[in-house]
């Protein structure tokens, strides 16, 4: 029999993040692995979805998104990110930012062209580059503040470079790229004709006065940037699968073709409700950030007290930790110990790096959780600490 799996599919493994969720369910653990909220989404958005379904918006929408949602995306991109776009020609609604990213990369990257990726990176970007047969070129973000080396980045840009993936605020580090850092990246993109593909899904989850800047808003970058976003994190709707890619018209034309043949379109009634979400009262975003800050502070303290080396995030909803001193053989061994013995699921750090060794002392915790869930996690972390003190 022929080898059933394609070479492409053989080059990556199943998602470690989603696997940790399955292991967590088996051990009835607290899931601080996969980044989704366990609290309800805003009522008015859910009601808008119900209304759309009862109103029979149940057939295919226009492939690249309902006019109402594209208009809402354009309005919000103008007021929050400071960039004006044409919803008719520059927005493609996709099945989450996950599909927006892969459709965008497939639309612009030829096989063997290079794509620069900062690491640690959101797990999907690895398989994304493999699926579009690109050559990933990794640039390390160095702890404790997750800075990158300017010279290393400058040297990574060549004639072979097609795109650079940016994720700010960043998963898994919590880094919020500064204006200076983005300007440096923008200068290199403009010099080498490289497309910035920026995943801004955590744009409203910011702490300590951090400000979100879209690279598309920097001079000259509007025509060379694909900005990706979704309703998943901002409105606690990860299961609805509605996201979008904003790009200049020629890029959008390519993205729309790939998107059409990959998925046809995102769920029609949920697109209508997403338009309601994007027009929610603006005070919602302040409350969102404030509530997340309280969750971050709680988990940050609990992890520190339990003996973890903790890197404080300034955005997104994850905390990276170093666990080397606990003496386990690697990150997976530690993560399995924590979920099997103490019922806390995390993500082994190596799943965010191109080389296992770079992440083998780290684990990531997430905190989009109700107060009682975090209290429970805090209790379990105390037990973990006690068990170490007995040794």
Residues that bind ligand PLP (CB under 6 A): 35, 96-98, 122, 167, 171, 199, 201, 230, 232, 238, 243
Burial of 209 (C-beta count, 10 Å sphere; 0-12/13-18/19+):
exposed
Closest CA to 313 of 29, 41, 82, 35: 35
Burial of 193 (C-beta count, 10 Å sphere; 0-12/13-18/19+):
exposed
Residues 163, 353: Cα–Cα separation, whole Å = 19
The residue among 171 and 361 lying less far from ligand PLP, judged by its C-beta, is: 171
In the complex, least distance from residue 96 CB atom to ligand PLP, rounded to whole angstroms: 3
Number of H helices, E strands in the chain: 14, 13
The residue among 21 and 375 lying less far from ligand PLP, judged by its C-beta, is: 21
Which runs of consecutive H residues, i.e. helices, occur in 193-330? 249-263, 268-278, 283-305
The residue among 98 and 225 lying less far from ligand PLP, judged by its C-beta, is: 98
- CB 133, CB 6: distance < 8 Å: no
The residue among 15 and 71 lying less far from ligand PLP, judged by its C-beta, is: 15
In the complex, least distance from residue 167 CB atom to ligand PLP, rounded to whole angstroms: 5
In the complex, least distance from residue 36 CB atom to ligand PLP, rounded to whole angstroms: 8
Residues 271, 89: Cα–Cα separation, whole Å = 18
The residue among 306 and 345 lying less far from ligand PLP, judged by its C-beta, is: 345
The residue among 170 and 321 lying less far from ligand PLP, judged by its C-beta, is: 170
In the complex, least distance from residue 97 CB atom to ligand PLP, rounded to whole angstroms: 4
The residue behind tokens 């959780």 is 369
Helix (H) or strand (E) holding 20: helix 16-26
Residues 147, 143: Cα–Cα separation, whole Å = 7
In the complex, least distance from residue 219 CB atom to ligand PLP, rounded to whole angstroms: 26
Cβ atoms within 10 A of the Cβ of 165, count?
24
In the complex, least distance from residue 263 CB atom to ligand PLP, rounded to whole angstroms: 12
Q: What is the number of the residue whose Cβ is closest to ligand PLP?
A: 96
In the complex, least distance from residue 123 CB atom to ligand PLP, rounded to whole angstroms: 8
The residue among 96 and 349 lying less far from ligand PLP, judged by its C-beta, is: 96
Token output for 87: 């919803």
The residue among 243 and 343 lying less far from ligand PLP, judged by its C-beta, is: 243
What pairing do the DSSP bridges indicate for beta strands 135-140 and 114-119?
A: parallel
- CB 255, CB 103: distance < 8 Å: yes
In the complex, least distance from residue 318 CB atom to ligand PLP, rounded to whole angstroms: 8
Residues 346, 30: Cα–Cα separation, whole Å = 9
């Amino acid at each position: 029999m022929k080898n059933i799996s394609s070479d492409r599919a053989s080059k990556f493994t199943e998602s470690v993040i989603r696997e940790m969720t399955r292991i967590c369910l088996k051990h009835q653990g607290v899931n601080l692995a996969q980044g989704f909220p366990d609290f309800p989404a805003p009522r008015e958005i859910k009601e808008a979805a119900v209304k759309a379904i009862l109103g029979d918006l149940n057939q295919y929408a226009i492939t690249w998104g309902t006019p109402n949602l594209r208009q809402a995306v354009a309005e919000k991109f103008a007021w929050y990110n400071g960039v004006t776009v044409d919803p008719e020609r520059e927005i493609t609604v996709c099945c989450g930012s996950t599909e927006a990213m892969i459709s965008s990369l497939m639309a612009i990257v030829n096989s063997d062209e290079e794509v620069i990726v900062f690491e640690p990176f959101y797990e999907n970007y690895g398989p994304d580059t493999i699926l579009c047969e690109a050559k990933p070129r990794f640039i390390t973000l160095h702890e404790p503040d997750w800075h990158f080396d300017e010279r290393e980045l400058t040297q990574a840009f060549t004639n072979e470079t097609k795109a650079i993936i940016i994720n700010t605020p960043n998963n898994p580090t919590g880094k919020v790229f500064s204006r200076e850092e983005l300007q440096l990246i923008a200068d290199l993109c403009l010099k080498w004709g490289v497309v910035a593909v920026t995943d801004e899904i955590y744009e409203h989850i910011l702490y300590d006065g951090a400000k979100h800047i879209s690279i598309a808003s920097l001079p000259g970058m509007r025509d060379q940037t694909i900005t990706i976003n979704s309703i998943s994190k901002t409105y606690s709707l990860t299961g609805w699968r509605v996201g979008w890619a904003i790009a200049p018209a020629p890029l959008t034309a390519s993205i729309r073709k790939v998107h059409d043949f990959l998925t046809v379109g995102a769920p029609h009634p949920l697109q209508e409700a997403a338009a309601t979400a994007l027009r929610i009262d603006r005070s919602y975003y302040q409350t969102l950030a404030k509530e997340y800050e309280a969750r971050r502070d709680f988990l940050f303290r609990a992890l520190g007290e339990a003996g973890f080396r903790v890197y404080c995030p300034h955005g997104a909803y994850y905390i990276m930790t170093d666990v080397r001193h606990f003496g386990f053989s690697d990150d997976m061994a530690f993560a399995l110990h924590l979920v099997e013995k103490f019922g806390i699921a995390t993500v082994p750090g190596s799943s965010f790096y191109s080389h296992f060794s770079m992440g083998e002392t780290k684990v990531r915790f997430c905190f989009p959780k109700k107060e009682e869930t975090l209290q429970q996690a805090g209790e379990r972390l105390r037990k973990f600490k006690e068990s170490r003190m007995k040794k």
